[in-house]
Amino acid sequence: MLQQFLDNLFFITSHLRFQDLLDMVLVWMVVYRVLVLIRRTGTIQMLSGLGVLAIGYILSIWLELFTFNWLLEKFFSNLFVIVVILFQAEIRRALAHIGTNPFFTDATAAQETQVIEEIAKGIISSAQKGYGALIVIEKEIVIDYHIEFGTEIDAKVSSELICSIFHPASPMHDGALLIRGAKVHSAGCFLPLSKNPALDKNLGTRHRAAIGLTEETDALVFVVSEENRSIGIVQGGHLSQNAELGEIRKHLYESYGLKYKAYSQGETTL
């Protein structure tokens, strides 16, 4: 059996062309990007639904359910069009990402470090000035299905921009600020409120919204209280209050997939 396997392997490798290797690499890249897209968008539920319909189609043949089989056969004959309609937003975003990053490269570690420091500085400055703030850091799961977007900004992350958005005179200060990658995506967004009955009754709307979003996604959310100027960190539906600068930086570095190194000085002020 081993000899047969080696003979088959030799036959395949001896007839393998450069074009075949290139073909396999391209297919692997496409499959990999599709799997990453499914993971990021949280569309596994829709794919599960299609899987259930596929099982129903097989059972309809086995049990001779002619009418049900005819309906599912018509459905699957137009599957490509249906998939494009269902995932049109995800496909559009993926193509835009390929257009801006043809080799699938993301921001460098130096750029992400600068973004992290600007976010941390903006959070601390907002707290020091007594501005109420709600800042969402999107991670793997795209949160488009979970929030109501406000005003699209698409600007470089800076502490000054964060503070200006949450200034009490700003028309967008009541909503949440969404940071996607290295950009401020939008402001004035509305998040889903948590329905957890065990939450502290004294928690305000900002805190409940932050908890609600993190119960449904893997987002990292910072909440600044304008009453006592405290900073809360919310992740996985858990609220950690009275966070210091070091803890804020640590969570930010982890969310961007970078190794955090505590500063020897300046962990309490910026």
Residues 6 and 77 in one domain: yes
Examine residue 268 and state whether it is found in any structural domain, yes or no. Answer: no
CA 8 to chain centre: 44
Burial profile 101-136: b = 16 or more Cβ within 10 angstroms, e = fewer: eeeeeeeeeeebebbbebbbbbbbbbbeeebbbbbb
Domain span at 158: 109-255
Examine residue 133 and state whether it is found in any structural domain, yes or no. Answer: yes
For residue 186, the domain's CATH number is: 3.40.1700.10
What count of residues does the chain have? 270
Examine residue 157 and state whether it is found in any structural domain, yes or no. Answer: yes
- Residue of 106 and 236 predicted with greater confidence: 236
Residue 18 burial (CB count, 10 A): 7
Is residue 120's pLDDT more than 90?
yes
Examine residue 165 and state whether it is found in any structural domain, yes or no. Answer: yes
Examine residue 264 and state whether it is found in any structural domain, yes or no. Answer: no
Residues 8 and 55 in one domain: yes
The pTM of this model reads 0.66
8 Å CB contact between 248 and 233: yes
Per-residue pLDDT of 201-250, as tens digits, reads 888 889 999 999 999 888 999 999 988 899 999 999 999 999 999 999 99
Count of domains for the chain: 2
Examine residue 33 and state whether it is found in any structural domain, yes or no. Answer: yes
d(CA 104, CA 99): 9
Quickly count helices (H) and strands (E) in the chain.
10, 7
pLDDT at 253: 92
Examine residue 269 and state whether it is found in any structural domain, yes or no. Answer: no
